[in-house]
A and B are shown apart, each in its own frame.
Chain A
């Protein structure tokens, strides 16, 4: 039986009428029209669907909406604040850290979560944390460079 569930996405509360077992990814994409998180594999192996739950990176294709209910969900669409890009987004622009761009939202959100718990990751720590994100175009060196430059900028006092 369907029932209503509250999802707090990018600071906005949505009440959705959906099976509590439905994956968060399809609810975000198909009910809330937040299509920044992508389907890539459906088994949590590629990272394209990554969103943040509270401050942790989460594979939304593997997460039931009941688990996310009431908690703070951040998608790629929520990283831009008042027209200002997140430093990671700026760094991806600067480094052209993409080709087709399909993995990009998942990469940025995964790294945003990493920087929340470790604001100064080494290259090895970035590689370790990002191992679950796939870029089939092979732009990994640019992604690492963008992530490092963003982390440096974020630590500098404004």
Chain B
């Protein structure tokens, strides 16, 4: 068991290394010189050489990578070209805002999706199952950026119940989660973000529950004379590892893949920061955000795998 945990943790290290290589090379797959954004178009060859040396671009690529990696490991992501603030602060601020959305969206989505999936899986082929399956297909097919716009049209433009974009009323300082004037800015983004995980989770839960119900041990439980409720309890317990794996993946997507929803709601999270960095060609922020988000994703997957091995002893032994 502890061997499995150790192996899994060690396995995450080369992955994290590979991720950092990809993030580093992002700058170099860009057409043209990465310095183009920093230098004025009429810079002389001499200025270019000086700036190149200052940024370390005159060294060979592997050297540059090692220097960059060394800086990143000590939390030094460089300085944003657009705001002149340290990238590390920009990213952590934005990440906390993204995490706030995920903290609300994840429980709502997981609970709704799980309950829907269990109900559908316990009554396969009945009308409840069809309703859930239909809703789930809609959930996974919805472009969430469009759903966000539709929700804004309904609740902000037509009904004028909720604010359309932003985080907190204009001029307010800080975000106060216990005050409705602040909290109401959360409602639409959270509802939009929750939609896809609900669809995916109810589909997987339904499939997992239906599959476990078809296994022989369920027949044995029934033959033993257990009540239907007790049988369902066994079924749920056995379908949990699959469901948890999907939940973990979806939580990672909520953190790392929220760029579209955050752009729709101009929510100052990591996704919004990323889309601003792309528009401004702000390379240090681009690198820093992508690296942080993907490392969070790697860490989430690791934690989920470990949790899974805790609830399902079969995994650790394999």
The judgment on whether A and B are partners is no
Using a CB–CB cutoff of 8 Å, the interface residues on chain A facing chain B are none
